[in-house]
Chains A and B, each alone.
Chain A
Amino acid sequence: MSAVKLKNVRFTYEGQKSAALDGVDFTLEYGELALLSGVSGSGKSTLMNIICGIIPQVVKGRLDGEVYVDGKSVKGETMNSICRKVGVVLQNSDAQIIQDRVEAEIAFGAENLGMPPERIKESVDNACERMQLDKNAFTRTLSGGQKQRLIAAAVLAMRQKILILDEPLANLDAKGARMLMESLSRLAECGYAVMVIEHRLDAVMHYADRVWHLENAQLYTVKDKYAYLSSRALNLKDSVGKILGQGNAFSLENVKYAVRKKEILRGIDLDIPMGGRTLITGENGCGKTTLTRIIARLVKPTSGEMRQYISPKSKRANARWFADVGVVYQNPDYQLFMPTVKSEVLFGARDKNYALELAERFCVTHLFDRHPHSLSEGQKRLVGVCAVLATRPKVLLLDEPTVGQDYGGLERMVGIINGIHVQTGNTLITVTHDKRCADALCDTAAIVSDGVISDIGGKEKARVFMDRNIS
Chain B
Amino acid sequence: MERLSAKRALYPLMSVFTGIVVLVVGLILAKREYGMIYLGGVWLLLLLFGYYKACLAVIPFAAVTAGIFCAVTYALSRDVQSTLSAAARILAVCVAVIAGMGIRPSALISNLSTLRAPRSITLGMMIAVGFFPLLMRETKQIREAMRTRGAGSMLRPTVFYRAFLLPLVIRLVNISDTLSLSVETRGFLIGDKNYTVYKKTVFGIKDGVFAVIFTLGTVLAVIFL
* B185 cross-chain contacts in A, Cβ below 8 A: 52, 54, 79, 83, 88, 90
A-contact 0/1 string along B158-188, CB 8 Å cutoff = 0000110011001100110011011111111
Residues of A110-147 whose CB lies within 8 A of B: 110-117, 120-121, 124, 138, 140
Complex: A110 Cα to B198 Cα, angstroms: 9
Any B CB within 8 A of the CB of A329: yes
A41-61 contact mask (Cβ, 8 Å, vs B): 1 or 0: 000000000001010001000
**Contact call A319/B152, Cβ cutoff below 8 A:** yes
Interface size on B, residues (CB 8 A): 50
> How many angstroms from the CA of A322 to the CA of B152 in the assembled complex?
10
Known contacts A90-B185, A100-B106, A140-B133; is-contact A335 B149 (Cβ 8 Å): yes
Complex Cα spacing A322 to B153, Å:
12
- Cross-chain contact A117 with B187 (CB below 8 angstroms): no
Which of chain A's residues 38-90 have a Cβ closer than 8 Å to chain B?
A: 52, 54, 58, 79-80, 83-84, 88, 90
Tell me, in angstroms, the Cα distance from A334 to B149 when the chains sit together.
10
B31 on interface, CB distance cutoff 8 Å: no
Q: How far is the CB of B103 from chain A (nearest CB, A)?
A: 12
Contact between B167 and A96 (Cβ–Cβ < 8 Å)?
no
Q: Per-residue CB proximity of A302-345 to B under 8 Å, as 1/0?
A: 00000000000000010100110011010001111110000000
Closest Cβ neighbor of B147 among chain A residues:
A322
Considering the complex, which residues of chain A in the window 243-284 have a beta carbon less than 8 Å from any beta carbon of chain B? none
CB distance A120 to B196 under 8 Å? yes
Q: Is the CB of B170 within 8 A of A83?
A: no
Is A338 within 8 A of B162, CB to CB? yes
Contact of A80 among B141, B144, B189 (CB under 8 A): B189
Q: Provide the main secondary structure of the chain B interface.
A: helix
A148 to chain B, nearest CB (A): 13
* CB proximity of A95 to chain B, nearest CB, Å: 4
Contacts A92-B178, A104-B106; A111 near B126 (Cβ below 8 A):
no
> Counting CB contacts under 8 A, is A27 at the interface?
no
Q: Look across to chain A and name the residue whose beta carbon is closest to the beta carbon of B126.
A: A98
Task: For residue B1, give the distance in angstroms from its CB to the closest CB of chain A.
Answer: 11
Question: Which of A98, A115, A334, A373 contacts B127, CB < 8 Å?
Answer: A98
Residue of B with least CB distance to A96: B182
A336 to B148, CA, bound (A): 11
How many angstroms from the CA of A101 to the CA of B139 in the assembled complex? 23
Q: What residue of chain A has the Cβ atom nearest to residue B113's Cβ?
A: A111
Is A109 a contact of B186 with CB atoms below 8 Å? yes
Whether B186 contacts A154 by the Cβ 8 Å rule is yes
Q: What is the distance, in angstroms, from A382's C-beta to the closest C-beta of chain B?
A: 16
Q: CA of A54 to CA of B182 in the docked complex: distance in angstroms?
A: 11
A101–B106 contact, CB under 8 A? yes
Q: By the criterion CB–CB under 8 Å, are A92 and B174 in contact?
A: yes
Contact across chains for B148 and A83 when beta carbons are under 8 A apart: no
**B198 with A112: CB separation less than 8 A:** no
Q: Does B151 contact A (CB under 8 A)?
A: yes
Contact B178 A99 (CB under 8 A): no
In the bound complex, do residue A335 and residue B147 qualify as a contact, i.e. CB atoms below 8 Å apart? no
Q: A100 to B104, Cβ gap below 8 A?
A: yes
> CB of B192 within 8 A of chain A?
yes
CA distance A406 to B134 in the complex (A): 30
For the complex, what is the distance from the CA of A59 to the CA of B150, rounded to whole Å? 36
Select from chain B the residue with minimum beta-carbon distance to A319: B150
Contact A120 B167 (CB under 8 A): no
Q: A298's contact among B148, B192, B194, by CB below 8 Å, is which?
A: B148
Contact A98 B183 (CB under 8 A): yes
- Interface centre among A58, A335, A387, by most B CB within 10 Å? A335
Distance A112 CA – B183 CA, assembled complex (angstroms): 10
List chain B residues, Cβ under 8 A from A23: none
Contacts of B188 in A (CB 8 A): 80, 108, 112
Most B CB atoms within 10 A — which of A92, A99, A151, A337?
A: A337
Please indicate the chain B residues that have their CB under 8 angstroms from the CB of A453 in the complex: none
CB distance from A380 to the nearest CB of B (A): 11
CA distance A114 to B200 in the complex (A): 14
Would you call B198 and A117 a contact (CB within 8 A)? yes
**A323 to B187 CA separation, bound complex (whole angstroms):** 48
Q: How far is the CA of A138 from the CA of B133 in the complex (A)?
A: 13
Give me 6 A-to-B residue pairs in the complex whose CB atoms sit less than 8 angstroms apart, sorted by A's number.
A99-B106, A107-B199, A111-B195, A111-B197, A319-B150, A335-B167
**A-B pairs with the 4 shortest C-beta distances?**
A112-B187, A96-B182, A109-B186, A334-B145
Please name 8 further chain A to chain B contacts, defined as beta carbons within 8 Å, in addition to the given A80-B187, A323-B150, sorted by A numbering.
A84-B187, A96-B178, A98-B130, A101-B106, A110-B196, A329-B145, A334-B141, A334-B142
